[in-house]
Amino acid sequence: MTAALGLLSVLSISIPAQTTALEGNWLGTLEFNGVKLRQVLKISKAGDGFTAKIASIDQSADDVGLDSITSQDNSVRFELKKYGMSYEGMLNEKGDEISGTFKQGPASLPLIFKRSTVAVKIGRLQDPQKPYSYKEEEVVYENKKDQVKLAGTLTLPRTSGQHPAVILITGSGSQDRNETILGHRPFLVLADYLTRRGIAVLRVDDRGVGGSSLGSLSATSENFAGDVIAGMEYLKTRKEINPRQIGLIGHSEGGIIAPMVAVRSKDVA
């Protein structure tokens, strides 16, 4: 059921401009079996109607379009048939609260949206906040064998001298340098943690993602291992990096690629 509720996470909707009091930001929380999912509903006027978006702060899933939404007098109703989801609510006389019921399958849960005059920032508490205590640099280098351009971020301690370094290797699928998933950015968090403790970190967009070029569509883990080796060769050109202290940290498929690189390169610490 918890997974099913995630389908509500982010959606865009259009409604007739009958109730101008609906315009603005609204905050609500779904609760199920002790799990709380905060929802941010943003309604703005667009031409003769309204557009709206709702985001789950605790999930940050992809956009989902509604099949229908209606507003008559003070009532508000929307529906998403594909997932068996609907919501019916009433706007109070003050125009600062929509009280209603969220339904999905057999579940029927109360959901109250309250008007907010403060813009809500959707993010994760663990995300590091700038300004950082270390240096951050956008870098580009090449896997010359496969003719692939690779773009990433290198974080460096501000202390003088050469530093140990690690390359973060993503899991399967097309991942960005932060390995972003459902609003989480684990590689950003890991890079921050390590760099604050004196270790330089290189994290890189996968092929075809962000600033990295696509390369061959038939690329395998062997090719991706070559991308990591290219990253090691790049780090060895940096005066801030100790070339004898370059390590690898891999997640999922990255945990398979790391030992493949270690077999092919004697430079892995």
**Domain spans in the chain, listed from the N-terminal domain onward:** 2-116, 135-264
Tokens of 4: 């099913």
Residue 78 vs residue 49, higher pLDDT: 78
Whether pLDDT at 4 is above 60: no
- How high is the pLDDT of residue 140? 98
* Annotation: CATH topology of 2-116: Lipocalin (2.40.128)
Reference 61, options 121, 2, 9; nearest CA is: 9
- How high is the pLDDT of residue 65? 65
Name which of 89-93, 163-167, 223-227 the model is least confident about. Answer: 89-93
pLDDT tens sequence across 108-136? 999 999 998 876 666 677 889 999 999 99
**Hey, is 29 helix, strand or coil?**
strand
Whether pLDDT at 51 is above 90: no
Tokens of 16: 């007739």
- How high is the pLDDT of residue 3? 42
Percentage of the chain modeled with pLDDT above 70: 84
CA torsion through residues 217, 221, 226, 227, sign? positive
Whether pLDDT at 41 is above 90: no
- How high is the pLDDT of residue 157? 98
> Which top CATH class is 135-264?
alpha beta
CA distance 131 to 38: 28
pLDDT tens sequence across 57-82? 776 555 566 677 778 888 988 777 77
- How high is the pLDDT of residue 156? 98
Categorize the per-residue pLDDT at 155 as very low, low, confident or very high, splitting at 50, 70 and 90.
very high
- How high is the pLDDT of residue 131? 95
Torsion over CA of 249, 252, 254 and 259, rounded to 10 degrees?
Answer: 80
Same fold across 2-116 and 135-264? no
- How high is the pLDDT of residue 13? 47
Reference 150, options 130, 171, 167, 127; nearest CA is: 167
Whether pLDDT at 56 is above 80: no
- How high is the pLDDT of residue 224? 98
Reference 14, options 68, 54, 51; nearest CA is: 51
Whether pLDDT at 29 is above 60: yes
Tokens of 143: 């896997």
Q: What is the mean pLDDT of the chain?
A: 86
Tokens of 118: 């403060």
What are the distances in angstroms from CA 220 to CA 9, 64, 88, 256, 263?
A: 34, 33, 49, 12, 16
